[in-house]
Amino acid sequence: MFKKSLLILVSIVMILSLAPATLSAQGDPIVIGFLPGVVDPFYQVMELGVNAAAEDMGVQIITQIPQTWGVEVQTPILDAMIARGDLDYLIIAPTDKDQMIGPLEAALDAGIQVITVDTFLGDGDYVNGPVTFPISYIGSDNVEGGRIAARGLAAAIGGTGKVYINSTNPNVSSVEGRAVGFNEVMANEYPDIEVVGLDFNLDDPARATEQTAAVIAREPDLAGVFGTNVFSAQGAGQAVIQAGLGGQVQVVAYDATQLAIENLRAGVVSLVLAQKPFDMGYMAVQFAVAHAAGVTSLPKRVQTGFAIIDINNVDDPAIARFIYQVP
Ligand code: T6T
C-alpha cells in the first residue's frame, strides 16, 4: 500500500514540475501553429526561438516549413493547419502582403488568432488598417534596415559610383521595405551614387549570381551591390568572386549567415546586417500566451532591431551572438 501511495505522490510531483500549461478559453493547453516563409537559416533561428519559448511556457507547437517560397506553397499548408481544428494561434511569415490576407482571414474565421513575424499583411499598420485582425507584427524595421545598408555601402565605395540591388520576391513586405529604405537614402543623401537596377531572384541564389554577373558585365565600373536577404547576398557575392572583383565591388549583405560572415572575413562583403529572428520567434509565442491569458495591451507592432557586423566587430561576442547559428 505504501509503495503505491509513494508512486502516486511521485507521479503527481513530476506532473506538477512540468512547465504549467497555458490554457485556452476552453481550458485546454493552447496549441500554436508556426508557418515561416521557407527553409533557410533565418527561419531556422526563428524556430529555435519559437521552440525555446514553447518549452519555457508549456505550449504545444505545430511547425510546418515550406520547401520553397510563395503563396502557392504556403496557402495549402495553411489550409491544412486550419483543417486540423486544434490550433488556437498561428505564427506566420506571410509570403505575400496582399495574397495572404484572404487565407489568413479564413484562419481567423476558424477561430485561430494570427501573429505575423518577419513579414506583414497590407501596409503593416494593424492599428489603423486596412488590415487590423492580426494580434501583432513582430519583425525588423526593414525600411530602416535598407537605410543602414545604403549608408554602409556608400561608405564602402567612398560616396560615389554605381550600385545594384539584388532581391528575392515582389510584394513581400520585408525585402520590399529594404529596397525602399536603400533607394530613399541613395536618392536623398548620395547625389554621386546611381542605383542602376534591381532584380528579383525568386529565392534562387544561382539566379542571383547570374543576374549580378550580367550587371557586372553591363556596368564595368559597378562599385557595389546590396543583397537584400540570405539568397540575394549569397548569389551576388558569388558573382563578385567569380568575376575576380572581391574587394573592388563592395557587397552589403542583409542576414548574418555563416556564408555572409565568411565573405566578410574574405573581404568580399563589407557589412552584414543581422536581424534578430530568435527574438521574433520567442516573442511571438509570448504574445500568444499573453493573449490566451486575457492580456489586451499587446502592441500591434514590435520592431526587433539589428546587429551591424563588420570586420572590426565580427569577433566581439556581443555582436557575434547574432550570427545565425543553426543546428
Ligand atoms: O531575410 C529573411 C527574411 O527577413 C525575409 O522576409 C525573407 O528572406 C529571409 O528569410 C532570408 O532568406
- In whole angstroms, give the CA distance from residue 141 to residue 173: 10
Cα–ligand 1 centroid distance for 111 (angstroms): 28
Cα–ligand 1 centroid distance for 137 (angstroms): 15
> Would you say residue 4 has pLDDT above 60?
yes
Q: Give 202-207's long-range contacts (Cβ < 8 A, gap of 24+).
A: 202/69, 202/168, 202/169, 203/38, 203/68, 203/69, 203/168, 203/169, 203/231, 204/231, 204/235, 205/231, 205/232, 205/234, 205/235, 205/238, 206/235, 207/235
For residue 216, the model assigns a pLDDT of 98
Return the SS3 of 54. helix
> Would you say residue 9 has pLDDT above 90?
no
Strand spans (E) along the chain? 31-35, 60-63, 89-92, 113-117, 137-139, 161-167, 193-200, 222-227, 250-254, 269-274, 301-303, 307-309
Higher pLDDT pick, 179 / 326: 179
88 lines ligand 1 (CB under 6 A): no
Which is the CATH superfamily of the domain at 2-140+276-305?
A: Response regulator (3.40.50.2300)
- In whole angstroms, give the CA distance from residue 17 to residue 280: 28
Q: Which fold has domain 142-274?
A: Rossmann fold (3.40.50)
Q: Write down the mean pLDDT value for the chain.
A: 94
Domains 2-140+276-305 and 142-274 share a fold: yes
The protein residue with its alpha carbon nearest to ligand 1, atom 5, reads 174
The structural domains of the chain, with segments of one domain joined by +, span 2-140+276-305, 142-274
Q: How confident is the model at residue 17 (pLDDT cuts 50, 70, 90)?
A: very low
pLDDT in tens, 49-78: 999 999 999 999 999 999 999 999 999 999
pLDDT in tens, 140-196: 999 999 999 999 999 999 999 999 999 999 999 999 999 999 999 999 999 999 999
35, 38, 39, 42: residue to mutate for ligand 1 pocket, most atoms within 8 A of CB: 42
Strands of the 269-274 sheet, one edge to the other: 193-200, 161-167, 222-227, 250-254, 269-274, 307-309
Cα–ligand 1 centroid distance for 110 (angstroms): 28
